[in-house]
Amino acid sequence: MLPRIGQTLRLNVNSSSEEARAHSFKSRVTDSKDGIAVIELPTSENTGRTGLLDVGTPCSVWYVGEDGSRYEFQSSIVGRQSEPLPVLFLQLPAKEEIVRTQRRNYLRIDSSLDIAVKLIDPIRNYHFLTRTVDLSGGGLSFTCKDTYHLQENDTVQVWIAFPSKTGQMQHASAELQIVRVKPAEEKGLNQWVSGKFIQISEADRVKVVRACYERQLDLRRKGVIE
As a whole number, mean pLDDT of residues 178-198 equals 91
Can you tell me whether residue 204 is helix, strand or coil?
A: helix
Q: What is the pLDDT of residue 217?
A: 79
Given a cut of 80, is residue 162 above it in pLDDT? yes
User: What is the torsional sign of CA 45, 47, 48, 50?
Assistant: negative
What domains, with CATH codes, occur in the chain?
A: 8-103 (2.30.110.10), 109-221 (2.40.10.220)
User: What is the torsional sign of CA 119, 124, 126, 132?
Assistant: negative
Q: What is the pLDDT of residues 74-123, one digit of tens each?
A: 999 999 888 888 899 999 998 888 887 655 567 788 889 999 999 988 88
Q: Please report which confidence band the pLDDT of residue 157 belongs to, taking 50, 70 and 90 as the band edges.
A: very high
Question: Omega of the bond prior to 84 within 30 degrees of 0, cis?
Answer: yes
Q: What is the pLDDT of residue 12?
A: 85
- Residue 31, Ramachandran bin (φ over 0: left; ψ between -120 and 50: alpha; else beta): beta
